[in-house]
Chain A
Amino acid sequence: MKNWRNHFGIIIPVLVVLGLAIWPTLSDSVSNRESAFTILKAIALASSLNILLGYTGYVSFGHIVFLGFGGYVGLYFLNEQGWNIWMSMLVAGFSSGLLAFLLGKAILRLRGAYFALATIGINEAMKAFINNFDPFGGPIGMTLNFKVYKLYGGASEALSMAFYIMAGLTLAAIILSYLVRVSKFGLGLLAIRENEDAAEVMGVVAPNAKTWAYVLSAIIPGMVGVLFFFKNGNVEPHSAFPLHASIELLVMVMLGGQGTVLGPILGALAYQGMRGYFVTSDFFKDIQLSVSGVLLLVIVLFIPAGAVGWLRNRFAPLRRFLP
């Protein structure tokens, strides 16, 4: 941070998140808070995925595994061991990071589509395993004991608190994403994305860099998982590891522009907004999925760089403000 003028790029992302965080308070509406929670969650997850997908160029099709795993670990400590939410989130973030570290050591050797397939396999294997794992409640999952909310002054207080923690986590996610983007470590990741062999020749220790990128992209989803299931009050294997949610995250990152800090944020906002509109509109309600599919196809075929990527390519002076 030698020169604050070099860090214009973080201003817009932070403003977006802060705006989302105070919007429900200003409008004093619980339903707005729910929408804002969903959008903030999407931003946090998409920005985390972007560290691996956008900066490093590895396509994780099962990134939601960290949300589910972290959520399970967190809820286990919250519910069965009586820990508080902060400690549970720390443990969950740490466990997700550790899982990513161990997995990364193994599967990051695979490249391209093989890596994508392996991440799908891991998500499914984890879902099937948790389904059989009795301490986590097996196929029924875990339901949060109502007493847990009492610690935070009742259910409605707890939900409001969960919202502000979510906003904090999202802020942390985008700052992390930005710091990686401007650091020397991030430059190494970008080099791996462009050409892994050449990057190694230039002195990037690719296996380590990739593993750490994977770990960094897993910690925040783990913590978000705890918060999400804490708010929902229960967790079960099918809601914890939905493969289609992983792909929604990919769509958000692609929509906004992979490899940029602002891209996943805009992508998450646009995707959630669009989804909300389609689900509630009479005309699109039934074929909502098809319309999203057509949109995704058009983006992939014609604007593969995403919105922010397209702007950066088109208008060079904007690059300073749109990292």
Chain B
Amino acid sequence: MQQLSLLLASLPDGVLLGFVYGVAAMGLTLIWGVMDVINLSHGPIISLGMFGTFFIFIRMGVNPYLGLIPVAIFGLLLGVVIYFVAVHRVINAPHLSSLLATFAVNMIIIGLGTAAFTTSPYNVDFSMGGFSLGFTTVLWTRVIAAVIAIAVTGALYLFLFRTRPGKYIRAVTNNRSAAELMGVPSTQILALSFGLGTMLAAISGALIATFFPFNILSGGGYELKSFVIGVLGGLGNPVGALYGGLILGLLEGIIPAFLNTSWVPVIEFGLFVVILLVRPNGILGAKK
């Protein structure tokens, strides 16, 4: 009985967080799907999104949800720059090259970020109260974050399936050379996809900053979670990432009711390796 009440208490939080994790993973898996690149600079960009919220809300006093718009634009532009500087030259090289190139970007951002912000924790003191739900109190910040996450997913879906650039992205995902033959400007589309991926990372960071303290290194943990989610939902399947995020959120809600919290990463990463081995296309079965 005690376990049940504990479960009911931690479950809503886990599920709501799961949506936000899903957005971060969506960015990673979009980039992977379009250009077969695992973006190891994902974590620091999530951190930059967190700092975006911090500066917009604490320094400028703008509502953090309104602040998502400049953060998103910044994320998009940053991604396009990273693409042209680091990724474009190695896009056809073996995986090691693109992994190391994006990791170099990771080191550059973390180095500059550490010099600028140090590694001491920052906190965005933003509270909107909560409402009680049976055994537990659900915070409004988390509910709004989850709603925004769902809205972002919906917008991404509409963009990919209803607009011309979105259709180009899907064409390049399917077969880049064929898309080029059909007149799709592949370089611009690849840069745009990379930008969209980093934009999603920055948005998720900005949302996470409204509930947890953070520093420049915090993004790394969410990057690892994004890998797990990406594999759960199927690498290269952006919408699957939202389900993957939900599954991870559920696990984070359920496990602490039965085991010590420190077992959560053991189970997460164990599951990650097992799924990679058994169903590398994800449990939802994406392409590839």
Is B54 an interface position by the 8 A CB rule? no
- How many of A's residues come within 8 Å of B, CB to CB? 43
B280's partner among A114, A247, A250 (CB-CB below 8 A) is A114
Is B257 an interface position by the 8 A CB rule? no
Is A132's CB under 8 angstroms from B272's CB? no
Is B266's CB under 8 angstroms from A129's CB? yes
Is A292 an interface position by the 8 A CB rule? yes
Is A297 an interface position by the 8 A CB rule? yes
Is B100's CB under 8 angstroms from A121's CB? no
Query: Given A113-B38, A116-B95, A118-B276, does the pair A293, B269 have CB atoms closer than 8 Å?
Result: no
Which residues from chain B contact A53 at a C-beta distance below 8 Å?
96
Is A265 an interface position by the 8 A CB rule? no
Is B269's CB under 8 angstroms from A113's CB? no
- A188 to B210 CA separation, bound complex (whole angstroms): 54
- A216 to B95 CA separation, bound complex (whole angstroms): 23
Is A288 an interface position by the 8 A CB rule? yes
Is B262's CB under 8 angstroms from A139's CB? yes
- A122 to B228 CA separation, bound complex (whole angstroms): 12
- A19 to B89 CA separation, bound complex (whole angstroms): 39
Is B86's CB under 8 angstroms from A297's CB? yes
- How many of B's residues come within 8 Å of A, CB to CB? 44
Is B273's CB under 8 angstroms from A118's CB? yes
Residue on A nearest B107 in the bound complex, by CB: A293
Which residues from chain A contact B268 at a C-beta distance below 8 Å?
128
- A252 to B266 CA separation, bound complex (whole angstroms): 30
Is A301 an interface position by the 8 A CB rule? yes
A250's partner among B100, B114, B265 (CB-CB below 8 A) is B100
Interface string of A119-131 (1 = CB under 8 A from B): 0111011011101
Is B227's CB under 8 angstroms from A120's CB? yes
- A251 to B40 CA separation, bound complex (whole angstroms): 14
A106's partner among B38, B95, B277 (CB-CB below 8 A) is B277
Interface string of A168-202 (1 = CB under 8 A from B): 00000000000000000000000000000000000
- A250 to B95 CA separation, bound complex (whole angstroms): 13
Is A289 an interface position by the 8 A CB rule? yes
Summarize A's interface: helix, strand, loop or mixed. Answer: helix
Is B181 an interface position by the 8 A CB rule? no
Which residues from chain B contact A297 at a C-beta distance below 8 Å?
85-86, 101, 104-105, 108
Is A293's CB under 8 angstroms from B100's CB? no
- A132 to B270 CA separation, bound complex (whole angstroms): 14
Is A296's CB under 8 angstroms from B277's CB? no
Is B148 an interface position by the 8 A CB rule? no
B269's partner among A61, A124, A290 (CB-CB below 8 A) is A124
Is B269's CB under 8 angstroms from A125's CB? yes
Query: Given A59-B96, A125-B270, A128-B266, does the pair A109, B277 have CB atoms closer than 8 Å?
Result: yes
Is A286 an interface position by the 8 A CB rule? yes
Summarize B's interface: helix, strand, loop or mixed. Answer: helix
- A128 to B95 CA separation, bound complex (whole angstroms): 27
Q: How far in angstroms is the closest Cβ of chain B from A185?
A: 22
Is A291's CB under 8 angstroms from B224's CB? no
Is A247's CB under 8 angstroms from B108's CB? no
Which residues from chain B contact A158 at a C-beta distance below 8 Å?
none
- A118 to B100 CA separation, bound complex (whole angstroms): 16
- A107 to B95 CA separation, bound complex (whole angstroms): 17
Is A290's CB under 8 angstroms from B97's CB? no
Interface residues of B in 65-95 (CB under 8 A from A): 85-86, 89-90, 93-95
A300's partner among B104, B272, B280 (CB-CB below 8 A) is B104
Interface residues of B in 270-287 (CB under 8 A from A): 270, 272-273, 276-277, 280
A113's partner among B36, B100, B108, B266 (CB-CB below 8 A) is B36
Known: A124-B269, A132-B266, A286-B115. 11 other contacts (CB 8 A): A113-B99, A118-B276, A120-B224, A125-B272, A131-B265, A287-B115, A290-B107, A292-B107, A293-B106, A300-B100, A300-B101
A-B contact pairs, 17 of them (CB 8 A): A59-B95, A113-B38, A117-B227, A120-B227, A121-B227, A124-B224, A125-B269, A131-B262, A247-B103, A250-B100, A289-B107, A289-B114, A290-B108, A290-B112, A293-B107, A300-B100, A301-B86
| Interfacial residues, chain A to chain B (CB-CB below 8 A) | 53, 57, 59, 61, 106-107, 109-110, 112-114, 116-118, 120-122, 124-125, 127-129, 131-132, 139, 247, 250-251, 254, 286-294, 296-297, 300-301, 304
6 pairs of A and B residues whose beta carbons are closest in the complex: A290-B111, A293-B107, A289-B111, A125-B269, A128-B265, A293-B108
